[in-house]
């Protein structure tokens, strides 16, 4: 059977290693795993013979049936046991003494026994020739004894006279067919004779049935079958071990079968890939091999080829199972005791390459005597260690020492190392190689691995471009794994999901599962495939707690997210992002107590994260009320990452939000951690940061402290000291002292734009003292940009939620801008036909489900409509993202304190809005209350989009998935879609064929008609819609009268809001005229003459007072007239009204026309 090393070379044709680490359910091993599994080699035959000799020692020492055991027999047995226990030299000395001192008392049979045992001792001590001579001699003392006959065959074998051994043995076995020891040696001789032949004659067929069934013969025969790779030999070995569970030779055979199986079945061009069950078998094989290996180490015999084979097999198995501790132990033993065996040393080096055992590996490398092999192994050592410096120093002329695939592999890693060390030529050489040479699997693996490890974007892109068309799910698993690591470095999440989503048996590979889990998390939004994947992952979540927590967080399932993330943290997880997610949930839930507890219970310095993540942690510390700790963490992070623009921005924010009262007074003295600015009398400025350890530095080494700091330490602003120079005396003055936190903040403010000119987020506007015009110009410019975008929305009928995504704004901000700039929210066309269709749609969905989009849900909860909606419909559904958007809106108020003022530009004038601290708190509380109402009274559902979307939907999802979620929820649940955005309803109908949709007023109208809401509540709801400037609102005479009666404001603010939806150029003339005329009749006549008594009218016409109509009525009438004349034919309609026989009306109209509003036309 070929050696494991030969199998590696035959299968992979390469010697370069690669490292693949894995955990949990699988482990991937790559690289050259040197070792030998030999069955036919002559050295191995000797080993088998040694085992057979030890095994059959009891047979040698057994007396014939009926022979009395003498005292000398007992001595021989005692010495034999000592030899078998490993004390070979002691046993040899004892046998020699026995032969010397008891020669006269020994029978020929005892002399045979003693000399045969001496021969076995010599063989175990490596003296094969002497062992053969002694066996021949021993056999002469009992030539007819069947044991002596058997050992004569063994002597011929040791003399390498196999033909004679077989000839003699066959003849003797015919005479005595129950000689099992002889049969075993015949089988051994057969192995040797046919070791290089394709065919062989199995002598077992000539054995008697009794001999065939003996343990020794069965075991020897299994050895023979294994050497010939006869199918079924492993099953026979396993069966034998079941029957003889303590037999070390059987264990060795079974272990060899396991190792050989995995070499054939699990090896790829780049190494091995195992499942957890495979690892169990590999560990079992190591345990079996270790039986004989441990016995050898405990003995004083000389190592033979079998021992070398055992230790190589063990080293390989320990490498395959990643058993670092045992691998190191055995490597140390080999280097100390077997350094002369180059094959074993070679195995040690190659097994250590993939482990962080550099010192031990270097020691083994020094013992390699083949210079060419040593050169390759040293290079492989640099590759395995990612020794960028060493690989960068590798000169081009040294490539001539390599050839074939090894040369190509060497060039790849050297070129990337050169690029890593800043040599552009490395990249150019790599480009040239990739363009002109075809890479084998190992070369591609090295390309992907080193490109990702280099962290150089351009190199990674080169490698990715090369692999993109060459790697698929059928590629070698280890090569595929490294390509996926490269894609992960490039954050190619879509490609990761595409390749791994359908990867066969992916759940058996922890690393690929972890990568796919990351890919799904980084896709926006979470897709249906991701939901199915994570649901399956929950079945065996161990090791994936943090990812499951983040998944549920992104799905807004905060309870499940907290459960998994708390498990992760309790188990000692130290990924800072996991802790930050828990903090964010506490923040979103406004649970400051939990936020404080989380940050107090966990030591942030023990966590692993990016600088940006530590800045986020600092932000949470400030929000939790731990400003001092938050500022310290923020400053330390900024100080260590001053070239990171995100960190600078984060520090700016943390400092603004923090409670600066925890900092010492700005006018404090110069001390540890402070910033000091010195000004000389000749205008020179010196700036220094005082080290925290300045007092210790002064005590230990005063010269290590900056001389300027030494002079002013403990002094305050205004302190002066004199310095003598050759050109005269200079006066230095302490100009400024600041805490280092303040100095860092000012540094960010003053230098951000210049240090990061291409990064947005923070900029300054220079203004002269007292001149705020630059600020006003900026505000105006921003407002004008907003107006242009809003004009595009209106012109193109873009749904407001989609516009918010395009604009990167919150939907509520967009709605407010629409009101202030455009003047209204387009809710419907305002036609009677449209209202009839909507009412019919609402009635058809009675008892069924309705889906509200985000803005409509907010309006509904503010109107107090949710209870009525639940009563009329089966359920009210909102998306989970609706809650999140509102929580984000509430989050914008967090951290704000004191009064605030904002400046805007609307309709050609500047506006100013002021907010007190109580206003801000009230707004926060109001949003929290609205969210709770929605959570209590609505069915909150999540929607996951499929990866298989049409181009438009995919684009919309990338812009803002939340904008179209309600469409898909309505379609999925067969619900009525309700939206106050007419553009959204039209878009859903045209693009997604969502025909059943309406807005809130048709629902409100039906609810009041059926008594689900009171008339007063109905009127207030209509008024609220008018205040929100939703076009168009249908105002009934009941609503007009109800609001008129309740409006006690001087300028009739509420009534005026209703009037905005009466009349106008788009009004339906008849209905609006009837509404206005009805109001006039009611308040100009019926209020004082309910029955319209004509006698009363005639009397009042002659003489009347000023009691009717009231001033309030006249103000309301003026508002209605203002809307009336804007209707088509409005002025003529007004003339018709003037002609009514109503007291004072004509005079009022003429006075209103002339004196208040209009001139005669």
What pLDDT is stored for residue 1006 in this prediction? 96
Confidence check: pLDDT of 774 > 70: no
Q: If you average pLDDT over residues 99-127, what whole number do you get?
A: 86
Tokens of 367: 């013992």
The whole-angstrom separation of Cα 450 and Cα 427 is 13
Tokens of 74: 């007992």
Tens digits of per-residue pLDDT, 447-460? 999 999 999 999 99
Contacts of 668 (CB under 8 A, 6+ apart): 674, 716, 737, 739
Confidence of residue 1070 (pLDDT cuts 50, 70, 90): confident
Tokens of 1052: 């009739």
The whole model's pTM is what?
0.72
Burial 904-931 (b: 16+ CB within 10 A, else e): bbeeeeeeeeebeeeebeebbeebeebb
Tokens of 893: 């108020």
Confidence of residue 1088 (pLDDT cuts 50, 70, 90): confident
What pLDDT is stored for residue 912 in this prediction? 59
Lowest mean pLDDT among 255-264, 595-604, 892-901: 892-901
Q: If you average pLDDT over residues 242-252, what whole number do you get?
A: 92
What is the CA angle 494-497-500, rounded to 5? 145
**Are 653 and 761 spatial neighbours (Cβ–Cβ below 8 Å)?**
no
Cβ-in-10-Å burial (0-12, 13-18, 19+) of 129 comes to exposed
Mean pLDDT for all residues in the chain: 85
**Are 729 and 657 spatial neighbours (Cβ–Cβ below 8 Å)?**
no
Confidence check: pLDDT of 10 > 50: no
**Are 825 and 987 spatial neighbours (Cβ–Cβ below 8 Å)?**
no
Confidence check: pLDDT of 1103 > 50: yes
Confidence of residue 1096 (pLDDT cuts 50, 70, 90): low
317 vs 899, which has greater pLDDT?
Answer: 317
**Residue 976, strand partner residues:** 850
The whole-angstrom separation of Cα 493 and Cα 523 is 6
Tokens of 59: 């047979």
- In the chain, what percentage of residues exceed pLDDT 90? 45
Contacts of 867 (CB under 8 A, 6+ apart): 937
Whether the link from the prior residue into 1032 is cis, omega within 30° of 0, is yes
What pLDDT is stored for residue 31 in this prediction? 36
Lowest mean pLDDT among 355-359, 415-419, 609-613, 732-736: 355-359
The whole-angstrom separation of Cα 708 and Cα 716 is 14
Confidence check: pLDDT of 17 > 50: no
Tokens of 759: 């990064």
Confidence of residue 778 (pLDDT cuts 50, 70, 90): low
**Are 317 and 289 spatial neighbours (Cβ–Cβ below 8 Å)?**
yes
Confidence check: pLDDT of 8 > 50: no
Looking at mean pLDDT, say which of 35-49, 487-501, 509-523, 847-861 comes out highest: 847-861
- In the chain, what percentage of residues exceed pLDDT 70? 88
Confidence check: pLDDT of 581 > 80: yes
What pLDDT is stored for residue 44 in this prediction? 44
- Tell me which residue of 1134, 811, 1149, 1157 sits closest to 963, measured CA to CA: 811
Confidence of residue 868 (pLDDT cuts 50, 70, 90): very high
Confidence of residue 909 (pLDDT cuts 50, 70, 90): low
Q: If you average pLDDT over residues 1119-1123, what whole number do you get?
A: 89
Confidence of residue 779 (pLDDT cuts 50, 70, 90): low
The whole-angstrom separation of Cα 509 and Cα 484 is 13
What pLDDT is stored for residue 808 in this prediction? 85
What pLDDT is stored for residue 471 in this prediction? 92
Whether the link from the prior residue into 1109 is cis, omega within 30° of 0, is yes
The whole-angstrom separation of Cα 253 and Cα 1156 is 113
What pLDDT is stored for residue 770 in this prediction? 56
Confidence of residue 38 (pLDDT cuts 50, 70, 90): very low
How far is residue 950 from each of residues 945, 946, 953, 955, 973, measured CA to CA in Å? 11, 10, 5, 9, 21
Confidence of residue 894 (pLDDT cuts 50, 70, 90): low
764 vs 819, which has greater pLDDT?
Answer: 819
Dihedrals phi, psi of 401, to nearest 5 degrees: -80, -10
Dihedrals phi, psi of 852, to nearest 5 degrees: -105, 135
Tens digits of per-residue pLDDT, 820-846? 888 899 999 988 899 999 999 999 999
**CA max distance for the chain:** 171
What pLDDT is stored for residue 901 in this prediction? 52
Q: Do strands 976-978 and 685-689 pair parallel, antiparallel, or not at all (unpaired)?
A: unpaired
Confidence check: pLDDT of 576 > 90: yes
What pLDDT is stored for residue 418 in this prediction? 96
Confidence of residue 33 (pLDDT cuts 50, 70, 90): very low
Confidence of residue 35 (pLDDT cuts 50, 70, 90): very low
Helix or strand or coil: residue 133?
Answer: helix
Length of the chain, in residues:
1161
Tens digits of per-residue pLDDT, 58-70? 444 554 433 445 7
């Amino acid at each position: 059977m070929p050696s494991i090393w030969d199998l590696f070379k035959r299968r992979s044709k390469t010697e370069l290693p690669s490292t693949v680490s894995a955990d949990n359910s699988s482990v991937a091993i790559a690289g050259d795993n040197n070792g030998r599994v030999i069955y036919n080699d002559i050295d191995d035959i000797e080993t088998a013979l040694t085992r057979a000799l030890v095994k059959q020692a009891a047979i040698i020492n057994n007396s014939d049936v009926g022979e009395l055991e003498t005292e000398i027999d007992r001595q021989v047995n005692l010495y034999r046991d000592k030899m078998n226990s490993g004390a070979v030299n002691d046993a040899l000395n004892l046998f020699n003494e026995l032969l010397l001192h008891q020669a006269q008392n020994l029978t020929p049979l005892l002399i045979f026994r003693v000399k045969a045992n001496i021969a076995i001792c010599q063989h175990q001590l490596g003296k094969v020739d002497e062992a053969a001579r002694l066996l021949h001699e021993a056999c002469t003392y009992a030539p007819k004894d069947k044991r002596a006959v058997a050992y004569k065959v063994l002597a011929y074998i040791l003399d390498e006279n196999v033909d004679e051994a077989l000839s003699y043995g066959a003849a003797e076995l015919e005479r005595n067919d129950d000689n099992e020891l002889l049969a075993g040696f015949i089988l051994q001789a057969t192995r040797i004779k046919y070791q290089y032949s394709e065919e062989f004659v199995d002598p077992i067929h000539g054995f008697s049935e009794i001999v065939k069934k003996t343990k020794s013969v069965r075991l020897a025969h299994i050895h023979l079958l294994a050497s010939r790779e006869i199918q079924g030999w492993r099953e026979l070995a396993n069966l034998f071990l079941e029957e003889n569970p303590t037999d070390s030779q059987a264990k060795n055979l079974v272990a060899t079968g396991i190792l050989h199986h995995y070499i054939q079945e699990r090896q790829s061009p780049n190494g091995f890939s195992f499942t957890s069950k495979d690892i169990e078998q590999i560990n079992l094989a190591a345990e079996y091999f270790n039986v004989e290996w441990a016995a050898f180490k405990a003995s004083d015999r000389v190592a033979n080829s079998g021992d070398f084979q055992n230790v190589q097999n063990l080293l390989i198995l320990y490498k395959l199972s990643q058993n670092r501790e045992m691998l190191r132990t055995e490597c140390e033993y080999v280097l100390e005791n077997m350094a002369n065996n180059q094959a074993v040393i070679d195995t040690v080096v190659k097994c250590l390459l993939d482990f962080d055992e550099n010192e031990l590996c270097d020691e083994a490398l020094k013992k390699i005597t083949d210079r060419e092999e040593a050169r390759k192994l040293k290079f492989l050592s640099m590759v395995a260690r990612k020794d960028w410096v060493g690989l960068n120093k590798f000169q081009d002329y040294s490539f001539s020492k390599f050839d074939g695939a090894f040369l190509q592999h060497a060039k790849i890693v050297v070129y990337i190392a050169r690029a890593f060390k800043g040599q552009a030529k490395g990249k150019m050489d790599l480009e040239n190689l990739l363009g002109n040479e075809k890479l084998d699997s190992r070369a591609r693996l090295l390309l992907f691995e080193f490109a990702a490890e280099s962290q150089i974007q351009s190199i990674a892109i080169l490698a990715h471009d090369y692999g993109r068309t060459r790697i698929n799910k059928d590629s070698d698993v280890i090569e595929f794994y490294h390509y996926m690591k490269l894609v992960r470095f490039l954050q190619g999440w879509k490609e990761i999901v595409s390749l791994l989503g359908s990867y066969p048996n992916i759940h058996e590979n922890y690393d690929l599962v972890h990568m796919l889990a990351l890919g799904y998390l980084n896709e926006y939004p979470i897709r249906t495939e991701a939901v199915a994947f994570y649901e399956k992952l929950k079945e065996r979540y161990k090791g994936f707690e943090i990812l499951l927590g983040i998944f549920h967080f992104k799905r807004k399932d905060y309870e499940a997210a907290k459960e998994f993330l708390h498990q992760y943290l309790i188990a000692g997880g130290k990924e800072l992002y996991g802790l930050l997610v828990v903090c964010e949930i506490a923040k979103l839930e406004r649970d400051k107590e939990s936020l404080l507890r989380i940050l107090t219970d966990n030591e942030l310095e023990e966590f692993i994260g990016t600088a940006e993540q530590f800045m986020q942690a600092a932000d949470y510390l400030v929000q939790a009320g731990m400003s001092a700790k938050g500022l310290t963490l923020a400053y330390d992070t900024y100080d260590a990452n001053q070239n990171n623009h995100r960190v600078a921005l984060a520090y700016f924010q943390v400092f603004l939000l923090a409670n600066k009262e925890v900092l010492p007074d700005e006018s404090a003295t110069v001390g540890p951690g402070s910033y000091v600015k010195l000004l000389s009398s000749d205008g020179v400025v010196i700036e220094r940061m005082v080290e925290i350890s300045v007092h210790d530095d002064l005590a230990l080494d005063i010269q290590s402290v900056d001389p300027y700091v030494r002079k002013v330490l403990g002094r305050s602003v205004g302190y002066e000291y004199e310095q003598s120079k050759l050109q005269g005396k200079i006066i230095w003055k302490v100009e400024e002292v600041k805490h280092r936190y303040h100095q860092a903040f000012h540094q960010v403010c003053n230098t951000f734009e210049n240090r990061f000119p291409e990064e947005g987020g923070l900029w300054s506007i220079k203004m002269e003292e007292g001149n705020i015009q630059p600020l006003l110009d900026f505000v105006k410019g921003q407002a004008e940009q907003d107006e242009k975008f809003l004009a595009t929305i209106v012109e193109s009928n873009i749904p407001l939620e989609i516009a918010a995504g395009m604009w990167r704004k919150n939907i509520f901000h967009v709605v407010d801008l629409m009101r202030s700039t455009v003047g209204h929210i387009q809710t419907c066309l305002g036609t009677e036909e449209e209202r009839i269709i909507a009412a019919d749609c609402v009635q058809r969905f009675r008892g069924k489900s309705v889906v509200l989009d985000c803005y409509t849900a907010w309006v509904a909860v503010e109107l107090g409509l949710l209870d009525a909606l639940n009563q009329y419909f089966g359920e009210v559904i909102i998306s989970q993202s609706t809650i999140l958007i509102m929580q984000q809106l509430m989050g914008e108020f967090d951290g704000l304190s004191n009064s605030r003022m904002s400046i805007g530009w609307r309709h050609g004038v500047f506006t100013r809005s002021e907010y007190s601290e109580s206003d801000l708190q009230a707004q926060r509380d109001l949003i929290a209350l609205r969210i709770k109402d929605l959570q209590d009274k609505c069915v909150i559902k999540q929607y996951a989009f499929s990866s298989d979307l049409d181009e438009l939907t995919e684009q919309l999802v990338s812009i803002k998935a939340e904008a179209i979620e309600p469409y898909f929820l309505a379609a999925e649940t067969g619900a009525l879609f309700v939206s106050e955005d007419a553009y959204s309803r039209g878009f859903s109908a045209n693009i997604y064929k969502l025909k059943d949709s309406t807005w809130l007023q048709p629902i409100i109208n039906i609810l009041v008609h059926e008594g689900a809401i009171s008339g007063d509540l109905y009127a207030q709801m209509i008024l609220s819609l008018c205040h929100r400037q939703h076009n168009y609102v249908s105002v009934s005479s009941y609503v007009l009268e109800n609001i008129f009666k309740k409006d006690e404001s001087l300028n009739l603010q509420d009534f005026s809001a209703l009037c905005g939806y009466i009349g106008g150029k788009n009004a339906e003339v008849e209905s609006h005229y009837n509404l206005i005329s009805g109001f006039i009749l009611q308040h100009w006549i019926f209020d004082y003459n309910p029955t319209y008594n004509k006698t009363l009218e005639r009397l009042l016409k002659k003489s009347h007072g000023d009691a009717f109509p009231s001033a309030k009525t006249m103000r309301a009438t003026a508002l209605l007239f203002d809307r009336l004349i804007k209707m088509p034919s409005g002025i003529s309609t007004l003339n018709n009204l003037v002609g009514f026989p109503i007291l004072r009306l004509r005079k009022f109209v003429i006075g209103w026309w002339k004196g208040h509003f209009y001139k005669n036309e």
